[in-house]
């Protein structure tokens, strides 16, 4: 079984010391009561809940999995009880409005809970987290009647929710969807169709599940312009508080690579009553409320698996004795040295550490813009936050899940053969991490969104805005020797990022395939540069604290050492990426489809 302690100290460093959330909240209306003491108490309570209630169910949930019968899905032993404790503690309403029973904390607090619960038990955490996205979508696009009927139950954790987009023949290309919504005389709609791969689509933890479904009206325009969004409950609430069946059923669950304790369902709608959210044929736009929040949540999945790999791999590497250090015994009284002395093991551990803690910086940098976008009274500040979120969300989703999986894989490798067997939990961590690169828009699609829509279609405006902010920080006076030492690498990477963008933009005018050919490497390049900026900010703070001396200096020294490792050994990956971005589409597109597999024809 994996060990896990929530990284409360690092969360405090990132949020309070690097990004100064207390000062941010002082400037935002509605956050008057969000004091450092309150936040500390909430974070500590989150840590306790995740460590005590969720960690013990992670491995057993994976082994037991979910069970389907025609009456519905049963979750693994203990899941229901953990959910009850979660709901009773008020975690479901952490950031929901007070008027619906929530605690109205700023949105960024979800990012902390998301990571802790995700490391503790990602499969379990998907049941409540999808509900939060569904609740946010109803609040943003539902009528007051729908809000009053559904939101308080979801805020209290009595009902959960899902996101129903995918159909068997369409996942990425939602314009092809077939689920039909036919108008009823009373203003509701009758939905018919079948959705697949619906996470948390059915389960036994609550009385009702509120599905957020995309479908098209019979006369809707073809493609994405004809998609509308509906709220379709598993059971329809009666006026007397009872629940009536609504033509929604779970046809089966998938048997899959990881997150086995989360039910991935076929959900059938058979004339089910649904209610329109937002305007007709504007469903995909409304769905973005759900998807953007979900994408930040999925990005954090990368941190969750990286942190689990880090904590367990470091412990193992300090205990496992194999071979002697190249520079002479470090444990002369023992039969061998601990494997943490070997440079190659340190390469893996520090790669996990620098990427995971770097991604945590990225997540809470991004989350601060969620708070500003929602709460600021200044129009210009809200717009700045929206612009940064638009640019950085696809980078975070793609980069953090790719590197989260890399970290989970290093976690397996540090354990050697023991990493590959189930006992230690490292192979489960890697299996669970893999899905994050696929759902919430595959990383290939995030990359196209970034380069095509966010960067080139805005004529570089969003990128220029971000680079300008980074350069302003670079140029600010600082006593930090670390900053002076590493600044040239960061500023060179920023300049190259802009040059590469221009190069691809010019080539794309001649050949549109150039965008798709460059996009994935461009996304990864962008992620490494964002992390370099954030590591240097963190390193500057840590250096100041080290100079002050006092308690906890090991923590800050480790930050300085990790910043140096990141700049020496991770950031240089951008040179390969720059080469593959620059080289263009030719060798990718030259091969005829028929030559991808040649010589295996049997007839």
Specify the residue, 107 or 171, whose C-beta has the smaller distance to ligand FAD. Answer: 171
Specify the residue, 455 or 493, whose C-beta has the smaller distance to ligand FAD. Answer: 455
CB of 516 to ligand FAD, least distance (A): 6
CA dihedral 500, 373, 127, 189 (to 10 degrees): -100
Specify the residue, 172 or 184, whose C-beta has the smaller distance to ligand FAD. Answer: 172
CB of 498 to ligand FAD, least distance (A): 24
Specify the residue, 244 or 589, whose C-beta has the smaller distance to ligand FAD. Answer: 589
Residues 6+ apart with CB under 8 A from 577: 521, 522, 524, 525, 528
Largest CA distance in the chain: 84
- Which position among 357, 440, 514, 540 bears the catalytic label? 440
| 179: three-class secondary structure by DSSP | coil
CB of 565 to ligand FAD, least distance (A): 32
Residues 6+ apart with CB under 8 A from 563: 482, 486, 535, 536, 538, 539, 542
Specify the residue, 405 or 439, whose C-beta has the smaller distance to ligand FAD. Answer: 439
What is d(CA 538, CA 480) in angstroms, rounded to the nearest whole number?
11
CB of 179 to ligand FAD, least distance (A): 11
What is d(CA 165, CA 159) in angstroms, rounded to the nearest whole number?
20
CB of 539 to ligand FAD, least distance (A): 35
What is d(CA 53, CA 117) in angstroms, rounded to the nearest whole number?
10
CB of 444 to ligand FAD, least distance (A): 4
Q: Identify any residues that bridge with 194 across adjacent strands, giving them in sequence order.
A: 268
Q: Give the strand pairing for 264-277 and 228-233.
A: antiparallel
DSSP 48: H
Could you tell me if 123 and 61 are in contact, meaning their C-beta atoms sit under 8 angstroms apart? Answer: yes
Q: Which two tokens stand for residue 84?
A: 């009850």
Q: How many CB atoms lie within 10 A of CB 32?
A: 9
Specify the residue, 24 or 253, whose C-beta has the smaller distance to ligand FAD. Answer: 253
Residue closest to ligand FAD when measured from CB atoms? 171
What is d(CA 400, CA 307) in angstroms, rounded to the nearest whole number?
12
Specify the residue, 260 or 501, whose C-beta has the smaller distance to ligand FAD. Answer: 260
* Residue 552 Rama label (left phi>0; alpha psi -120 to 50; beta): left
For this structure, is 440 an active site residue?
yes
CB of 304 to ligand FAD, least distance (A): 16
Query: What are the Cα distances from residue 596, in Å, to 240, 481, 592?
Result: 63, 52, 7
On the CB side of 162, CA atoms within 13 Å amount to 30
What is the residue whose two structure tokens read 């203003």? 187
Q: How many CB atoms lie within 10 A of CB 381?
A: 16
Q: Which two tokens stand for residue 340?
A: 């943490």
Q: Which two tokens stand for residue 438?
A: 């696929």
Q: Identify any residues that bridge with 163 across adjacent strands, giving them in sequence order.
A: 212
Specify the residue, 166 or 312, whose C-beta has the smaller distance to ligand FAD. Answer: 166
Give the binding site for ligand FAD (CB under 6 A): 162-166, 171-172, 197-199, 256, 264, 435, 438-439, 442, 444-445, 448, 516
CB of 572 to ligand FAD, least distance (A): 27
CB of 214 to ligand FAD, least distance (A): 8
CB of 569 to ligand FAD, least distance (A): 29
CA angle 192, 158, 43 (to 5 degrees): 120
What is d(CA 162, CA 132) in angstroms, rounded to the nearest whole number?
9
What is d(CA 258, CA 429) in angstroms, rounded to the nearest whole number?
8
On the CB side of 452, CA atoms within 13 Å amount to 14
Specify the residue, 214 or 538, whose C-beta has the smaller distance to ligand FAD. Answer: 214
Backbone φ and ψ for 8, nearest 5 degrees, come out as -60, -40
Could you tell me if 443 and 398 are in contact, meaning their C-beta atoms sit under 8 angstroms apart? Answer: yes
Specify the residue, 140 or 445, whose C-beta has the smaller distance to ligand FAD. Answer: 445
Provide the annotated active-site residues. Answer: 440
């Amino acid at each position: 079984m994996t060990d896990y302690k929530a990284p409360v100290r690092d969360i405090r460093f990132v949020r309070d010391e690097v990004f100064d959330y207390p000062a941010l909240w002082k400037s935002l209306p509605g956050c008057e009561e969000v004091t450092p003491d309150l936040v500390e108490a909430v974070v500590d309570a989150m840590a306790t809940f995740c460590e005590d209630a969720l960690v013990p169910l992670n491995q057993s949930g994976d082994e037991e999995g979910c069970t389907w019968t025609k009456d519905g899905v049963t979750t693994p032993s203990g899941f229901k009880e953990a959910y009850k404790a979660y709901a009773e503690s008020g975690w479901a309403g952490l950031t929901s409005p007070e008027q619906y029973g929530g605690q109205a904390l700023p949105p960024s607090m979800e990012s902390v809970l998301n990571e802790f619960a995700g490391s503790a038990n990602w499969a379990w955490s998907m049941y409540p987290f999808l509900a939060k996205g569904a609740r946010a979508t109803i609040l943003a696009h539902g009528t007051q009647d729908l809000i009053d009927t559904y939101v308080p139950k979801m805020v209290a954790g009595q009902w959960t929710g899902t996101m129903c987009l995918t159909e068997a023949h369409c996942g990425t290309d939602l314009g092809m969807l077939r689920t039909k919504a036919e108008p009823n005389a009373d203003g509701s709609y009758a939905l018919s169709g079948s959705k697949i791969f619906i996470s948390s689509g059915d389960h036994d933890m609550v009385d009702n599940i509120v599905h957020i479904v995309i479908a098209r009206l019979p006369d809707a325009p073809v493609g994405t312009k004809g998609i509308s969004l509906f709220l379709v409950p598993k059971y329809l609430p009666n006026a007397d508080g009872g629940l009536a069946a609504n033509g929604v059923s779970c046809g089966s669950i998938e048997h899959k690579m990881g997150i086995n304790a989360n039910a991935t369902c076929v959900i059938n709608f058979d004339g089910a009553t649904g209610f329109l959210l937002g305007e007709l044929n504007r469903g995909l736009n409304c769905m973005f409320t759900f998807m953007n929040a979900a994408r930040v949540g999925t990005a954090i999945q990368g941190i969750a698996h990286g942190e689990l790999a880090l904590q367990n791999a470091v412990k193992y590497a300090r205990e496992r004795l194999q071979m002697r250090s190249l520079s002479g015994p470090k444990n002369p009284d023992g039969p061998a040295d601990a494997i943490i002395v070997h440079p190659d093991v340190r390469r893996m551990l520090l790669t996990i550490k620098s990427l995971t803690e770097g991604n945590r910086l990225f997540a809470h940098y991004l989350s601060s813009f969620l708070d500003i976008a929602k709460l600021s009274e200044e129009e210009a500040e809200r717009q700045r936050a929206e612009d940064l979120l638009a640019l950085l969300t696809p980078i975070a989703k793609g980069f953090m899940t790719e590197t989260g999986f890399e970290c989970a894989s290093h976690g397996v490798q540090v354990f050697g053969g023991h990493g590959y067997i189930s006992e230690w939990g490292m192979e489960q961590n890697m299996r669970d991490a893999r899905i994050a690169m696929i759902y919430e828009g595959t990383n290939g699609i995030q990359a196209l969104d970034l380069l095509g829509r966010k960067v080139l279609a805005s004529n570089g405006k969003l990128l220029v805005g971000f680079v300008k902010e980074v350069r302003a920080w670079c140029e600010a006076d600082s006593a930090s020797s670390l900053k002076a030492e590493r600044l040239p690498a960061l500023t060179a990477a920023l300049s190259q990022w802009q040059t590469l963008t221009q190069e691809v933009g010019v080539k794309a005018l001649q050949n549109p395939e150039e965008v798709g050919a460059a996009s994935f490497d461009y996304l990864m390049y962008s992620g490494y540069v964002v992390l370099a900026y954030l590591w240097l900010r963190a390193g500057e703070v840590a250096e100041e604290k080290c100079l002050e001396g006092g308690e906890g200096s090991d923590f800050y020294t480790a930050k300085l050492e990790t910043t140096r490792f990141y700049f020496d050994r991770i950031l240089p990956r951008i040179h390969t990426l720059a080469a593959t971005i620059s080289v263009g589409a030719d060798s990718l597109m030259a091969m005829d489809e028929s030559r991808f597999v040649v010589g295996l024809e049997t007839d």
